């Protein structure tokens, strides 16, 4: 999970993953989306591959990349513990806001 989190820290890699979430793409297609040279795209893809976030297959001269959702699911599961805490706090905030609105209406 650590490698996946480090890989997600970069905006270009997040853009690549967003694109890959819609289906397999080639290096050239990814390079066309980003303001970086193709060798830079390849380096980012290597980081994503080493983190287990993408897999690659050869199709003649092209390399086709596909998203691997398992590491993202692991991160989501880990964040789930914190999400519950955030939701509880947001629910409490919502309750307090509603209470304040009722009190303002009753004092008018």
Least confident of 21-25, 37-41, 99-103: 99-103
- Residues 62, 10 share a domain: yes
Structure confidence at residue 100 (pLDDT): 83
Domains: count for the chain:
2
- What the block records as the tokens of 99 is 């209470």
Tokens standing for residue 23: 């289906």
Instruction: Compute the average pLDDT of residues 13-39.
Output: 93
- State the pLDDT at residue 57: 94
Residue 14's pLDDT is what? 95
60 shares a domain with 9: yes
- Cβ atoms of 5 and 13 within 8 Å: the answer is no
- Indicate whether 11 pLDDT > 90: yes
Let me know whether 64 and 75 are in one domain: no
pLDDT at 54: 97
Give the domain extent around 64.
2-68
Q: Are residues 103 and 53 in the same domain?
A: no
pLDDT of residue 6: 94
Looking at residue 66, its pLDDT comes to: 96
Q: What is the pLDDT of residues 40-87, one digit of tens each?
A: 999 999 999 999 999 999 988 899 999 999 999 999 999 988 888 888
Contact call for residues 28 and 65 (beta carbons, < 8 A): no
pTM, whole model, 2 decimals?
Answer: 0.75
Report yes or no: 29 and 63 within 8 Å, Cβ to Cβ: no
């Amino acid at each position: 999970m650590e490698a996946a989190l480090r890989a997600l820290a970069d905006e270009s890699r997040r853009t690549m993953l967003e694109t890959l979430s819609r289906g397999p793409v080639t290096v050239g297609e990814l390079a066309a989306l980003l303001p970086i040279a193709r060798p830079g795209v390849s380096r980012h893809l290597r980081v994503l591959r080493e983190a287990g976030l993408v897999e690659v297959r050869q199709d003649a001269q092209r390399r086709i990349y596909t998203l691997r959702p398992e590491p993202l699911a692991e991160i989501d599961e880990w964040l789930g513990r914190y999400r519950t805490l955030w939701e509880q706090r947001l629910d409490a905030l919502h309750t307090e806001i509603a209470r304040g609105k009722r009190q303002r209406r009753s004092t008018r």
